[in-house]
Amino acid sequence: MVLLAPPVAAAAPEQISRRRLLAIFSGSVGNLVEWYDWYVFSAFSLYFSASFFPSGDTTAQLLQTAGIFALGFLMRPIGGWMFGRIADKVGRKQSMTLSVLLMSLGSLLIALTPTYQTVGIVAPILLLTARLLQGLSVGGEYGVSATYLSETATRRRRGFYSSFLYFTLIGAQLLALGIQLVLLKVLLTEAELQAWGWRIPFVVGALLSVVALYLRQHLTETAAFVAQQQVPEEQRGSLQVLRRYPRSVLKVIGLTVGGTLAFYTLTTYMLKFLVNTAHMTRGAATNTCFLALLGFAAMQPGFGALADRIGRRPLLIGFGLLGSLGSVPLLTALSHVTRPAPALGLLLLASVVVSGYTSISAVVKSELFPTEIRALGIGLPHALTVAVFGGTAEYIALWCKGIGHEAYFYWYVAGCIAISLVVSLLMTETQRTSYHDHDGHPPA
């Protein structure tokens, strides 16, 4: 049964309470800290890869580190199920607090792990263990944070407020790169950063997690979760209930296929791409990626506000159409760019396209599920898809480069975005059929 949202008088003023703004701020900052812990691994892998694997070819070491990065994603579906279930049964607040505790443990373990030259094979094993813990944590973070932000937001600005999920997610990468720039340009030499300085950002991550823990302990539980307490506990966060929404699950998967691959290519892999393929210096590549991410983050609220005015579907279709047609020529052009200015221009152009997905990813997926299974409904299929397509993006890109056919990866990106385009064209406008407008009332 399709749920139609009741009409809203255009002239009715919208009140945004201080309490609501504080809840969104606290949820967003906690999200930023947790994603920083996750992304600092990729941001500094150029510097610590030699510390955990035998000496040899740089591409081979990066490939091994990318393998660890990808394996961390295998835990994300488990985290999506576990933390989504906790969020739907016990509360969004409790689930978000537990996830940040687990993330801080992983960061601290990486910071303290000895090098391969010191303990041999134990080093990559400990690195993998820490990454698996982080994967479990971040696997639940997206679904629960998307649920919390969308349920806390007012109806007319749900797209705008939900856009802060990716705003803080990108902000986490900015923080990781910013710390890298400070260490490299102010505090340490490149040799010192590669020898031992790479441990500093992981220590910072563990300490910042204390801040996130404090903020999340003082979060206010969403009214939507409180209102659905009449739903029997066995139906909240239940896979059996989730099976009643196969179309919603498939929509989450289909949209995420292209969206996550585009996002991780543009952000996580791009630093290595500029160094390893375009042959830019590490410093120039880091500066370029930092500025590109800054612009990318700034776009999110604007696109989220636009979605509140014109709907979610036009932005998703725009991303799918431009991404599927433009990925190959854009990545090809980037591979031949050697100067920062044109590289930055191309990355900002790509950011505009990808923002059609990232800015509204949280709100679109949250509008597909009722309150009692919302966190699980978003988190599990999203995490499964990210594990397959997002987590392997870097590995597949490096593998294609290793066999001498890097352009295969460009076509792979375009094909996956085309899948998301088809889903966007077939789906209805979620703003008009949102389950949020029926929170507290089980669907018929």
Kindly tell me the burial class for residue 7, based on how many C-beta atoms sit within 10 Å of its own C-beta (0-12, 13-18, 19 or more): exposed
Residue among 205, 356, 335, 339 at smallest CA distance from 270: 335
Domains of the chain and CATH, by start: 26-217+244-437 (1.20.1250.20)
Q: Is 442 helix (H, G, I), strand (E, B) or coil?
A: coil
Contacts of 209 (CB under 8 A, 6+ apart): 33, 34, 37, 100, 101, 103, 104, 107
d(CA 99, CA 170): 19
d(CA 177, CA 290): 6
Residue among 316, 328, 322, 318 at smallest CA distance from 412: 328
Residue among 117, 284, 98 at smallest CA distance from 184: 284
Contacts of 377 (CB under 8 A, 6+ apart): 84, 143, 242, 245, 248, 249, 252, 365, 368, 369
Find out whether 372 and 88 touch, Cβ atoms under 8 Å: yes
Residue among 137, 150, 148, 383 at smallest CA distance from 253: 383
Contacts of 338 (CB under 8 A, 6+ apart): 278, 279, 280
C-alpha distances in Å from residue 113, one per residue of 36, 102, 116: 19, 17, 9
| The pLDDT of residue 57 | 55
Compute CA 3 distance to the chain's CA centroid, rounded to the nearest angstrom: 29
| The pLDDT of residue 6 | 44
d(CA 415, CA 412): 5
User: Count of CB atoms within 10 A of residue 63's CB?
Assistant: 18
User: Count of CB atoms within 10 A of residue 162's CB?
Assistant: 33
pLDDT mean by block of 10 residues, the chain; 444 residues: 43 57 75 82 75 63 64 82 90 86 85 79 80 85 87 85 89 86 83 84 86 80 81 79 93 95 90 88 86 94 94 95 96 91 95 95 92 90 90 85 90 96 93 70 36
- The pTM of this model reads 0.83
d(CA 364, CA 252): 9
d(CA 435, CA 139): 23
| The pLDDT of residue 1 | 39
Look up residue 441 and give its two tokens. 């009332």
d(CA 101, CA 210): 8
| The pLDDT of residue 355 | 96
Phi-psi region of 219 (alpha: psi -120 to 50; beta: other; left: phi over 0): beta
Find out whether 432 and 5 touch, Cβ atoms under 8 Å: yes
| The pLDDT of residue 5 | 43
